[in-house]
Structure 1
Amino acid sequence: METCTINTPLGFAKIVGDIHGISSVIVLNSEEIITDIIPIELEDCVIQLQEYFGGSRKQFNIKLNPQGTDFQKKVWEQLNQIPFGKTISYLELSKQLGDTKAIRAVANANGKNPIWIITPCHRVIGSDGSLTGYAGGLHRKQWLLNHESPYKQQSLF
């Protein structure tokens, strides 16, 4: 497995993957040393993340290889279907997966998503529109949703 660390507007991110695809992208809560030379297996991921944060990318085209249970992978695949700039509720996600009673299991799988931003778990919110849990912190979830919003909030000052 190859690894690299990049800086993003939301902090340092560690990318892990190999020729089979990206297995994880995690946001770190500490300062890290930025990787000088990006391994070739991770170059597309780094470029596409930079494009996303720069505002020129709305969809990722990267080979993914997350590790998890079959159920988790099924949930993560469904997350990849949520369009840029859109949100759905955990209940709606459970319905799409065919079992509204599995809402807690779906939420748990969502929280274990190892591929930050690319598999957009930040686009899942509470049925009442609330920003429920997010492994990267609710401030990051809010930033990502604002970043993807077609309605940009202007600062008054």
Structure 2
Amino acid sequence: MIHYYYSDGINEFGPFNLNELKEKALRPDFKIRTENKSFVATASSIAELDVLFKKPAAAVQNVTFQKQTNLRPATQKSSSDKLLIASLIIWFTTMLLNAIVSAVFSYSYSSNNQYIIMGVINLISAVLPLLIALSIQDRTLKVIGIIISVILMIRFIFGAVQLMTFSF
């Protein structure tokens, strides 16, 4: 029977037979030697010791399961996509409404109603930066996006109020 000695780089342990080595917390990078020989190989390079480093099938399944549970749920991705689509729809609608209001009032006399209607439409579109920021997946970038979107929203609201109060 072959007896093995192993070293963790500081201490030497042994002698152990193959069955006893299975009970030890042997790492593949430990140096291994047999009786009366110097440390010449790492544990992972000795064919007889391969059985020490193979994971059982149950452990492999658990690793696979853990990887699957760390994935983002499809519902989170779906809600992010919905926020982006909602942002695009609101943006398109507000631009279309602004164009319609401008066209309608350009053929008639210019009235204060045009500016009030356009101001309300611009107030609705002020929510767009926040919807886009909320659709960001990365937590740190989402916080930065929300801060920037709040600043943009304040600016858009200020501009819409100016438009409605004719103070431009």
| Superposition TM-score, scaled by structure 1 size | 0.25
Higher relative contact order (CA closer than 8 Å, sequence separation 6+)? 1
Higher Cα Rg, which structure: 2
| Superposition TM-score, scaled by structure 2 size | 0.24
